[in-house]
């Protein structure tokens, strides 16, 4: 067997796929568009937030040194400070200020006693403090959220709702993120027809619509290139017509059958192939390469195989293009409900439905595992990783599960 034909371990195939792509140039987008994407640059704080020490409670701003005698301790109330107001005077020994949550701490005060631990005299001129507190009690320090000049969020940080809130707090109404990858999708096969033009003796192209949705969900912009017939010329023509994409996905025509022309067409186009076989089931034939600034991934034809390989290789690549620092598929630990067997040699990714039971995630393999039918993917919640060299997994074994992004 030539080195080129060796079956790559999944991890190595993913690492080599990731090495072919990099974060795309940045664009500035509004918050709604930024949600779920990753920051293109380090963002430094322009403002110190909160801008002043402030109260974390409704209560009384006091000098903690005044509270050394046994409670109750009577203090004179000098003013009331509401959120949105600035204190008018300094808190001097024997005095305090009524203060509301979020209001700036007055000078002289170093702690807040919550209202529930006080007794305000009728008229409100004095208060009895019923609890001694130390310095800093219920005070939110200046700069707790952000200090001017510090890196607030690092490049590659995914922008969830709190992160975007932090950026808005800094006055940023748009944020820099890598632009969305443009992804072309080509189906190949003489047996295929379009869903809107069903034909006698043909099967509907299921891969292009499924892959389009997978690309959309991964944050890319899909374009369907149509269906190429099983000739070198037609596959080549379709690929040659696809220009300006960041990623081109093909499905089917990848094996060594007489009518499998995708690899040859990619070579004719000048795509430098990195590898094409992975020690994995489903999805063994998978071709990955690059030409100029476009990456090419030839996915297997079986609808479920193409979705599984999308999860394991394409989605991580799209995440890298989108600038995420964490691109590996997510994993969780679970237990196998059932038993599995296979010969060693290929890592299997078994479609399972996983559910919590008594504090653990139990994964039940779907009864259909044939990759030719989408049924074996419908209702799967996770892929169970059955390691390459393992040959049996027993009921109750600890297993690695990949939560699927394709489900509802």
Tokens 């080509």 identify what position?
Answer: 186
- Identify each DSSP E strand in 136-210 by its residue range: 139-140, 151-153, 174-178, 182-188, 192-193, 203-204
Instruction: Name the residue number minimizing CB distance to ligand AMP.
Output: 301
Q: Applying CB under 5 A, does 252 fall inside the site for Mg ion?
A: yes
* Smallest separation, CB 256 to Mg ion (Å): 12
* Smallest separation, CB 299 to ligand AMP (Å): 9
Q: Which of 106, 156, 189, 316 binds Mg ion (CB under 5 A)?
A: 189
Is 92 or 284 the residue whose CB approaches ligand AMP more closely? Answer: 284
Q: Could you say which DSSP state residue 305 is in? A: H
Give which of ligand AMP, Mg ion, none residue 323 binds (C-beta under 5 to 8 Å, depending on kind).
none
Give which of Mg ion, ligand AMP, none residue 341 binds (C-beta under 5 to 8 Å, depending on kind).
none
* Smallest separation, CB 188 to Mg ion (Å): 6
* Smallest separation, CB 386 to ligand AMP (Å): 22
Contacts of 345 (CB under 8 A, 6+ apart): 7, 279, 388, 389
Instruction: Name the residue number minimizing CB distance to Mg ion.
Output: 189
Contacts of 206 (CB under 8 A, 6+ apart): 303, 374
Contacts of 237 (CB under 8 A, 6+ apart): 228
Q: Could you tell me the two tokens for 203?
A: 């099967």
Is 210 or 247 the residue whose CB approaches ligand AMP more closely? Answer: 210
Contacts of 223 (CB under 8 A, 6+ apart): 182, 183, 184, 185, 245
Is 294 or 309 the residue whose CB approaches ligand AMP more closely? Answer: 309
Give which of Mg ion, ligand AMP, none residue 136 binds (C-beta under 5 to 8 Å, depending on kind).
none
- Total binding residues toward Mg ion, as defined by CB under 5 A: 3
Bridge partners of 295, per DSSP, are 247, 290
Contacts of 118 (CB under 8 A, 6+ apart): 59, 60, 127, 128, 129, 130
Name the segment binding Mg ion (CB under 5 A); options: 32-40, 253-261, 278-286, 291-299. Answer: 253-261
* Interface contacts to ligand AMP, rule CB under 6 A: 187, 189, 191-192, 203, 205-207, 251-255, 257, 300-303, 372
Q: Given the rule CB under 5 A, which residues bind Mg ion?
A: 189, 252-253
């Amino acid at each position: 067997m030539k080195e080129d034909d060796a079956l790559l371990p999944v991890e190595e195939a993913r690492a080599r796929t990731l090495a072919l792509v990099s974060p795309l140039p940045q664009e500035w987008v509004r918050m709604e568009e930024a949600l779920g994407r990753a920051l293109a640059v380090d963002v430094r704080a322009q403002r110190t937030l909160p801008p002043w020490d402030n109260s974390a409670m409704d209560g009384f701003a006091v000098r903690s040194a005044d509270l050394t005698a046994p409670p109750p301790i009577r203090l004179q109330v000098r003013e009331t400070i509401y959120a949105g107001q600035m204190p008018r005077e300094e808190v001097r020994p024997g005095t305090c200020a009524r203060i509301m949550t979020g209001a700036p701490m007055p000078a002289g005060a170093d702690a807040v006693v919550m209202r529930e631990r006080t007794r305000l005299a009728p008229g409100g001129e004095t208060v009895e403090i019923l609890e001694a507190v130390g310095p800093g009690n219920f005070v939110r320090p200046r700069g707790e959220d952000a200090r001017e000049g510090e890196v607030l969020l690092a490049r590659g940080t995914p922008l969830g709702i709190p992160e975007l809130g932090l950026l808005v707090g800094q006055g940023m109404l748009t944020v820099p993120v890598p632009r969305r990858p443009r992804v072309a999708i080509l189906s190949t096969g003489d047996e295929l027809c379009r869903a809107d033009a069903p034909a006698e003796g043909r099967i509907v192209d299921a891969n292009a619509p499924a892959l389009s949705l997978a690309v959309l969900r991964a944050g890319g912009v899909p374009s369907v290139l149509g269906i190429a017939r099983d000739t070198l010329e037609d596959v080549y023509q379709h690929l040659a017509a696809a220009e300006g994409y960041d990623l081109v996905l093909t499905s089917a025509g990848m094996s060594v059958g007489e009518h499998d022309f995708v690899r040859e067409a990619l070579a004719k186009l000048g795509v430098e192939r990195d590898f094409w076989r992975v020690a994995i089931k489903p999805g063994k034939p998978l071709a990955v390469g690059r030409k100029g600034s476009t990456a090419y991934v030839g996915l297997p034809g079986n609808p479920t195989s193409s979705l599984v390989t999308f999860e394991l290789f394409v989605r991580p690549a799209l995440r890298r293009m989108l600038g995420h620092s964490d691109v590996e598929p997510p994993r969780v630990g679970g237990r196998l409900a059932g038993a599995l067997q296979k010969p060693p040699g290929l890592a299997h990714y078994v479609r399972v439905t996983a559910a919590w039971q008594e504090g653990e995630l139990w994964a039940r393999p779907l009864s259909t595992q044939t990759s030719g039918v989408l049924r074996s993917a419908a209702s799967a919640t996770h892929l169970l990783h059955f390691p390459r060299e393992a040959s049996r997994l027993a009921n109750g074994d600890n297993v690695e599960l990949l939560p699927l992004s394709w489900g509802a």
